[in-house]
Amino acid sequence: MRQGVLHRLDGVARTISPFFVTLLLVLFALLPLRVTDFAPIMPAVALVGVFFWSVHRPDLMPIWAVFLIGFVQDLLAGGVWGPGILGLLLAHALVVWQHRFFLSASFILIWCVFMLVAAAAMAVTWLFTCLAMLTYIDPDPVFFQFLMTVALYPVLAWLFLRGQRLFQR
């Protein structure tokens, strides 16, 4: 009986862990790193989390979780509400739409697709931020942010995979 409860708790923890891990990443991305000129090109960690789990465990990254992650990210960033959410929703929708493609894809291929999806998501975020603020925002930092995010993807993906394997033991 007791084991049944524990087993169930374990199951719940596994189910919500991608959501919470991504939220934690968003929170930790707020930490001031005190590295010169790093803040403007801070990688979009939420995008990595949402993409990774939408590809590998779409059942554990439902669309409402994507929305919530986006909302928390926009709240903490102190900017406009909404554009960040739209970017993440787009990334999630693109992955779900072409889900069959990922079933047999190699890591390199998935990484390349991440590049495309991240480009689309960040472009949408930039566009709607400009529209919401009614100003033109220099897209250069967004581009460097995009490069940083793409570069960070293998590192985070490796960590996520290790974590998932640890869980599955």
Partner 1 sequence: MNKPTGSEIRLASPLKAWASRFALLLLVGAAFGLMLIGRTNSFLVEETRTAVTDMVTPILDAVSQPVDTLSGVIDQAEALANLQSENVALKEQNARLLHWQAVARRLEAENAALRNLSQMVPDPQMRFITARVVGDPGGAFVRSVLINAGERNGIAKGQAATTGAGLAGRVAEVGLRSSRVLLVTDINSRIPVVVGQGRDRAVLAGDNTDAPQLLYLGPTAKLRIGDQVTTSGHGGVFPPGLPIGVVSAVGDTGVRVEPFVDWAHMEFLRIVDFEMSGILDFQSVEAARAASAEAETAAAAAEGPGQ
Please tell me whether residue 64 binds partner 1 under the rule CB under 8 A.
yes
Question: Burial of 39 by CB count in 10 Å (0-12 exposed, 13-18 middle, 19+ buried)?
Answer: exposed
Closest CB to partner 1 among 114 and 122?
Answer: 122
Please tell me whether residue 139 binds partner 1 under the rule CB under 8 A.
yes
Please tell me whether residue 31 binds partner 1 under the rule CB under 8 A.
yes
Given a contact cutoff of 8 angstroms between Cβ atoms, the answer to whether 146 and 126 are in contact is no
Q: Of 88, 78, 64, which Cα lies nearest the Cα of 30?
A: 78
- Rounded to a whole number of angstroms, the minimum distance from the CB of residue 114 to partner 1 is 18
Closest CB to partner 1 among 42 and 115?
Answer: 42
Q: Of 67, 166, 48, 163, which Cα lies nearest the Cα of 117?
A: 48
Please tell me whether residue 128 binds partner 1 under the rule CB under 8 A.
yes
- Rounded to a whole number of angstroms, the minimum distance from the CB of residue 86 to partner 1 is 5
